[in-house]
Amino acid sequence: MYFESLAALWDMDGHGIYVWLAYLLTMCPIIVMVWLPIKRFRQHWRWIEAESRRSGIDVGGAAGESAR
Amino acid sequence: MTEARDIDILHFCRSQTLRHLMLMVRSPSEVINPLLFFLLVIVLFPLGLGPDPEQLSLLAPGILWVVALLSNLMICMRLFVDDLEDGSLEQLAMARVPLSIAVLPQLLASWLASGLLLSLVSPIFGLMLGLPLEVAPVLVASLLMGTAIMLLLGAVGAALTVGVQRGGILLALLILPLYVPILIAGTRALNEALQGGDPTVALALLGAGVTGGLLLAPLAIAAGVRVSLEL
Amino acid sequence: MWRIIHQFGSPPWVYRFCDKVIPWLMPITIVALLVGSVWGLLFAPTDYKQGDSYRIIYIHVPAAVVALAGYYVMALAGLVSLVWRVKLADTAMRAAAPIGAAYTAIALITGAIWGKPTWGAWWVWDARITSMLILFFLYVGVIALFEAYENKSAAARACAVLTLVGTVNIPIIYKSVDWWYSLHQPASIKFTGESAIDPSMLYPLLLMIGAFYCLFAVTVLLNMRAELAWNHRDASWLKQLVQGT
Amino acid sequence: MTTALLEARDLSIHKGLRQLLKDVTLCVEPGDLWQLAGGNGIGKTSLLRSFARLASIEVYGDLSRCDDVLYVGHSASLKGAMTPRQNLKYHPSGLCTPTDTEIDGALAAVGLAGYENALTARLSAGQKRRVALARLFLPSGRLWLLDEPFTALDVAGVAVLEQRFRAHAQAGGAVVFTSHQSADLGGTLSVLDLEQFRGD
């Protein structure tokens, strides 16, 4: 590792605050950008499940076109 | 049955330009308001920055161009709105002339009534900002070309936002980033002229902008109009 | 003959494509991001001029590169949806716009933070940063236009036109901002360090750029899958998939 | 190219996720008079606009037609600040370059003889509608696509219009118009009831 100790890594002779702040402000949006669509997709998926269970349509199998 | 006479594009463009010029003459406020706006906003800057001519003349190129840009934006906000409301835009799309050519007459008429007048009047406003008269030819030339490109780009934004309620603010958001190169080239031309440098490079760039705009922008305007007609 | 070309890339096909690609692309992206960051932060040598603050380059440059590439991806999707009227290109464009805007924002924020130690000011009107700011407004313009239309198919067509116009203008904007910058401030240190960069610093940078590209692809696919699931919530093919699993 | 002026094969029109019309098939030959009938909101105007190719984003299917088209929509496409004569002379559809005599003749035909130089803004809604319809009396396209041509017209106006339709059909043109009233154009009129194409 380039730095002798963890303290040196954290401090980075004075520039540490900027580097870690930049990384924090990058990783947070990235995590949100990845997590948000997954959450939305799961919501839609559960909604479709509930919808098809509520209207009791047998969608799969030979019936093919849903008997609406 | 009387076969519709074959359409002559030149005649169509001439008659449409005449039509729009006639409409502008009939509603003069549409022509005079942008000029008044231009004057009013220019007056604000000395009030804000102080009356001292040296300082003002340093900032004059930037001020003149930013204000020309904003008044051009104001013109573009009203560009297709009336025609969409009364159905003329629909008929224009139905004309047997390609739509990208059919929109040009209206732009020419708008430019004559706004860009041209603005450019010819700007040396007077320049004087108020301490801009010497020697620079006037470069100012007028750069504004003539600049307002033409800004109208072409603004028309693209106008075509896309005409079908939307309160499309004016949206138009500014879409189009101002595209105005940046014109602003840079225009102020560069003026600054070079002021400092005795050679403004022809910037003026040439503006000229390239006009020809490029005339070629490419109508395609985007036609596509934008077709989208707005779908709503 | 006015005839619409076959609906290439029908929703079910693209949905399955997303389902197939995401499971293996996601881990690759995470690994690449972690390795790149650790490599850049911990193992890469320091820069003799700027000191350790240069390590921000490992997120600033990839974000800037992908932000610009993202706009061209969006313009490509727009072109495909304009010319071949493929509905899926509309969803791709709608998915890519906010992500591209986010990357541009990241590039701006990290650029500003980087500017503080090296140039002493939070905001520096450097050519690169200014062009990035204008690119951000182009993205916001596309998103705003999309939200302004009620009829989303027309919105996609309008955004396609806008992105194509934007694509033509981006090089002009970048060149004119450089030209403007070179007049007022003769080239001081180039922000993104075109100067020959030492290989030990370069490899983590290339890895991070690759990681950001994968991340862009994954987030776009995730957004598209969520969008598809909502747009086709009452389509039978989706119900079968939901029932089937 | 067949002699048909307009040919639509399994055209389907969507509005968002809802399908307005599906499998619309229509072939308009020279001399035809077609009325698109159906309740409100069935999609008459959308179908007519898709024929005019003003609506094309959410329209799928095959549609081919001649280019020589005259379209009159709901709005009268007239400028209030101009006189009826100028409106017709400089009309944006630019279908033809009418001479003044032709314009006066057309305006007289729709019963606006004395109004050539009055400002269009001062005319009543019915009169504005007539100025718009005066375009049918000028040399114009072979295929007419008219949206609710009979609205805001009195009985005399309707009769004049029906007579013009018959004359245009006999001269080898064709008219496709939407109207929820039943127009008595005798045998030549064929009615396309859009109920049969209602989407799901």
DSSP states along A6-61: HHHHHHGGGTHHHHHHHHHHHHHHHHHHHHHHHHHHHHHHHHHHHHHHHHT---SG
Query: And the tokens for B118?
Result: 């603005």
φ and ψ at B131, to 5 degrees? -90, 120
In chain C, what residues touch B181 (CB-CB under 8 Å)?
Answer: 169, 172-173, 175-176
| Chains A & C: contacts with CB separation below 8 Å | 112
Q: Which of C1, C3, C153 sits opposite D57 (nearest CB)?
A: C153
Best of D56, D97, D136, D175 to substitute, by most chain B Cβ atoms within 10 angstroms, is D97
Chain B residues within an 8 Å CB radius of D172: 1
The chains in contact with chain D, meaning 3 or more Cβ pairs closer than 8 Å, are B, C
Question: Which chain D residues are Cβ-neighbours of B83 within 8 angstroms?
Answer: 92
The residues pairing with D72 across neighbouring beta strands, listed in sequence order, are D146
Most B CBs within 10 A among C81, C167, C172, C184, hence the mutation to make, goes to C172
| Candidate from B22, B91, B226 with C-beta closest to D93 | B91
Say whether pLDDT at C89 is over 50. yes
**Cβ-Cβ contacts under 8 Å, A23 against chain C:** 37, 41, 56, 59
For D6-68+141-197, which CATH class? alpha beta
Using CA atoms, how far apart are residues C238 and C233, in angstroms rounded to an integer?
A: 7
Give, to the nearest 10 degrees, the angle between helix C57-83 and helix C87-119: 160
* CB burial string C132-155: b at 16+ within 10 A, e below: bbbbbbbbbbbbbbbebbebbbbb
Judging by beta carbons within 10 Å of its beta carbon (0-12, 13-18, 19+), is residue D114 exposed, middle or buried? exposed
Cβ neighbours of B96 in D, within 8 Å:
67-68, 94-95
C51 and chain A in contact, CB less than 8 A: yes
Categorize the per-residue pLDDT at A58 as very low, low, confident or very high, splitting at 50, 70 and 90: low
Q: How far apart are CA B103 and CA D82, in angstroms?
A: 20
Quote the CA–CA distance of D143 and B96 in Å, as a whole number: 13
SS3 call for D34: strand
Interface of C with D (CB under 8 A): 1-4, 151-154, 157, 231
Opening angle at CA B147, ends B141 and B152, nearest 5: 135
What token pair was written down for C169? 């203008």
Q: Which residue of B has its CA nearest to D98?
A: B5
Given a cut of 60, whether residue A61 has pLDDT beyond it is no
Question: Which segments of chain D have a pLDDT < 70?
Answer: 1-2, 95-96, 183-187
Q: Is D64 on the interface with C (CB under 8 A)?
A: yes
Q: Which of C219, C210, C213 is nearest to C35 (CA)?
A: C210
Could you give the residue ranges of the DSSP H alpha helices within D17-139?
44-51, 84-89, 100-109, 125-134
The residue of chain C with its CA nearest to that of B217 is C165
Q: How far is C5 from chain D (nearest CA, A)?
A: 10
Rounded CA gap, C4 and D60, in Å? 7
- Cβ pair C133, C200 in contact under 8 A: no
Cβ of A41 within 8 Å of Cβ of C99? The answer is no
Partner chains of C (3+ C-beta pairs under 8 Å): A, B, D
C and D: touch, per 3+ CB pairs < 8 A? yes
**Looking at chain A, which residue has its C-alpha nearest residue C236?**
A66
What SS3 class is residue D112? Answer: coil
- What pTM was estimated for this model as a whole? 0.90
Tokens of C18: 């997303």
Our CA-based measurement puts residue D101 at a distance from the nearest CA of chain C, in whole angstroms, of 38
Contact across the interface for C161 and B223, Cβ inside 8 Å: yes
Percent of chain C's residues with pLDDT above 70: 91
- Which residue in the block uniquely carries the two structure tokens 């921000």? C56
Q: For Cα atoms D113, D118, D123, give the angle at the middle one, nearest 5 degrees.
A: 85
What's the pLDDT at B165? 85
Contact B156/C at CB under 8 A: yes
Lowest mean pLDDT among B45-49, C2-6, C61-65, C148-152: C2-6
Chain D positions touching C153 (Cβ under 8 A) are 14, 16, 57-58
Chain C residues whose CB is inside 8 A of the B154 CB are: none
Chains A/C: 3 or more C-beta pairs closer than 8 A? yes
Choose from A13-17, C30-34, D16-20 the range with maximum mean pLDDT. C30-34
Contact B16 D173 (CB under 8 A): no
CB within 8 A of C179, min separation 6: which ones? B184, B188
B181 Cβ contact partners less than 8 Å away, ≥ 6 residues apart: B209, C169, C172, C173, C175, C176
Chain C interface, best mutation among A5, A28, A39, A41, by max C CB count within 10 A = A41
Residue B77's nearest CA partner among B172, B168, B180 is B168
Banded model confidence at residue C11, pLDDT cuts 50, 70, 90: confident
For residues B201 and B138, give the distance between their C-alpha atoms in angstroms, rounded to a whole number. Answer: 12
Q: For chain A, say whether C192 makes contact (Cβ under 8 Å).
A: no
**Summary mean pLDDT of chain C:** 85
Per residue of chain B (231 residues), give pLDDT as tens.
445 456 688 888 999 999 999 999 998 888 898 899 999 999 999 999 888 888 888 899 999 999 999 999 999 998 999 999 989 999 999 988 899 999 999 999 999 999 999 999 999 999 988 888 999 999 999 999 999 999 999 999 999 999 898 888 999 999 999 999 999 999 999 999 998 889 999 999 999 999 999 999 999 999 999 999 988
Alpha-carbon distances of B140 from B44, B144, B214, rounded to whole Å: 22, 6, 20
Indicate yes or no: CB of D64 within 8 angstroms of CB of C1. yes
Q: How far, rounded to the nearest angstrom, does the alpha carbon of residue C228 sit from its chain's CA centroid?
A: 21
Do B192 and B184 form a contact (C-beta atoms < 8 A)?
Answer: no
Verify whether the Cβ–Cβ distance A22 to C59 is below 8 Å.
yes
CA pair distance D12, C235, nearest whole angstrom:
18
How many Å apart are CA C239 and CA B40, to the nearest integer?
62
The residues with which D3 forms a beta bridge, in sequence order, are: none
Most C CBs within 10 A among D57, D58, D59, D200, hence the mutation to make, goes to D57
- Residue in C30, C32, C77, C39 with CA at minimum distance from that of residue C57: C39
Q: Which amino acid is at D161?
A: L
Give the pLDDT confidence score for residue B176 in this predicted structure.
Answer: 95
Question: What is the predicted ipTM?
Answer: 0.89
- Cβ distance of B174 and C157 shorter than 8 Å: no
Does residue C1 register a pLDDT over 50?
no
pLDDT at D117: 84
Query: How confident is the model over C194-223, as a mean pLDDT?
Result: 86
